[in-house]
């Protein structure tokens, strides 16, 4: 009975902006969550090394690494990032890959050349260059977008397309819920829609009460990590700042590893 009352009181406080969200992981489980990579394979390689060293220095029964999405665009090494995520993973870890809005955009271009004019200007051009596609470098001619799309379909490895098409919208471990962008307030975590999980911003960021679990997210870049009572934001603008961040969650503790 004590547990039920405590849970009710915690939810009541959260609903009225009272207490800090209680979050934790069961014993023997450690989760490393990695923020937006955006085509910086050099930073990803460095962060993988740091995570591997961290796990070796303090062994844990079960290690999971959760990638929060936005592996592509903006940086110049999107193809190399996906190559690494598919074929050069951290040994001894379980891997969870979430879908970001930039992966959605990449898939949308594969089916609709006209969308390329939008995608090109928020990072798609750099992704295409990483695959050797240069048809759009100096033009916005609609025919050039179709040529680039067909070229992309020819050179995109099947393993890359399968990776993109099988990304998860979210994940949950213990008292934490992982999503690329965040969640919509007022909707239970089990009923969140993919559009919000990948794209939401202001409504989520400005919400100060409980979501039911602490949300770990990327999508909104900043020079520093953001730790609130109901969320942890770890997009540190890697493609601009050179700082790629992972939050390490174990028990009721959290710490950060970065590529500084």
Check residue 23 and give its pLDDT: 86
Average pLDDT for 152-163: 98
Please provide the average confidence, as pLDDT, over all residues in the chain.
93
Answer yes or no: is pLDDT of 199 > 80: yes
Domain contains 14: no
Domain contains 176: yes
d(CA 80, CA 131): 9
Check residue 18 and give its pLDDT: 39
The tens digit of pLDDT for each residue in 221-248 reads 999 999 999 999 999 999 999 999 999 9
CATH of the domain at 237: 3.60.21.10
C-beta pairs of 149-155 under 8 Å, 24+ apart in sequence: 149/109, 149/110, 149/112, 149/113, 149/116, 152/109, 152/110, 152/128, 153/110, 155/131
Domain interval for residue 127: 33-258
Check residue 12 and give its pLDDT: 39
- Domain count within the chain: 1
Domain contains 11: no
Domain contains 2: no
Check residue 22 and give its pLDDT: 67
Domain contains 138: yes
Check residue 7 and give its pLDDT: 38
Contact 65, 143 (CB under 8 A): no
Average pLDDT for 33-51: 98
Domain contains 213: yes
Report residue 80: phi and psi, to 5°. Answer: -65, -35
Report residue 200: phi and psi, to 5°. Answer: -60, 150
Check residue 122 and give its pLDDT: 95
Domain contains 87: yes
The tens digit of pLDDT for each residue in 82-131 reads 999 999 999 999 999 999 999 999 999 999 999 999 999 999 999 999 99
Domain contains 12: no
Question: What are 249's strand-pairing partners?
Answer: 31, 254
Check residue 21 and give its pLDDT: 59
The tens digit of pLDDT for each residue in 56-91 reads 999 999 999 999 999 999 999 999 999 999 999 999
- Starting at the edge strand found earlier in the chain, the sheet holding 62-67 runs 94-97, 62-67, 29-34, 245-250, 253-258
Check residue 57 and give its pLDDT: 97
b/e per residue, 138-176, with b = 16+ CB within 10 A?
Answer: eeeeeebbeebbebbeeebeeebeebbeebbbbbebbbb
Alpha-carbon distances of 139 from 83, 97, 114, 131, rounded to whole Å: 28, 34, 13, 18
Check residue 55 and give its pLDDT: 98
pTM for the model: 0.91
């Amino acid at each position: 009975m004590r547990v039920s009352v405590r849970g009710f009181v915690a939810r009541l406080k959260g609903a009225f902006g009272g207490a800090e969200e209680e979050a934790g992981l069961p014993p023997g489980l450690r989760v490393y969550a990695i923020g937006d990579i955006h085509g910086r394979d050099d930073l990803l390689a460095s962060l993988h090394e740091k995570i591997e060293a961290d796990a070796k220095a303090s062994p844990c029964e079960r290690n999971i690494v959760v990638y929060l999405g936005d592996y592509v665009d903006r940086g110049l090494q999107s193809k190399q990032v996906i190559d690494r995520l598919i074929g050069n993973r951290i040994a001894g870890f379980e891997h969870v890959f979430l879908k970001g809005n930039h992966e959605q955009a990449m898939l949308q271009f594969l089916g609709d050349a006209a969308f390329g004019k939008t995608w090109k200007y928020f990072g798609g051009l750099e992704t295409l260059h990483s695959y050797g596609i240069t048809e759009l470098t100096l033009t916005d001619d609609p025919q050039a977008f179709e040529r680039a799309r067909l070229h992309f379909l020819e050179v995109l490895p099947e393993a890359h397309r399968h990776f993109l098409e099988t990304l998860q919208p979210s994940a949950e471990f213990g008292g934490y819920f992982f999503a690329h962008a965040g969640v919509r307030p007022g909707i239970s975590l089990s009923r969140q829609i993919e559009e919000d999980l990948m794209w939401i911003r202001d409504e989520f960021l400005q919400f100060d009460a409980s979501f039911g679990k602490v949300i770990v997210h990327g999508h909104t870049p900043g020079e520093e990590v953001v730790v609130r009572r109901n969320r942890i934001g770890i997009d540190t603008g890697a493609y601009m700042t050179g700082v790629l961040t992972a939050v390490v969650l174990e028990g009721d503790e959290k710490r950060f590893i970065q590529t500084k």
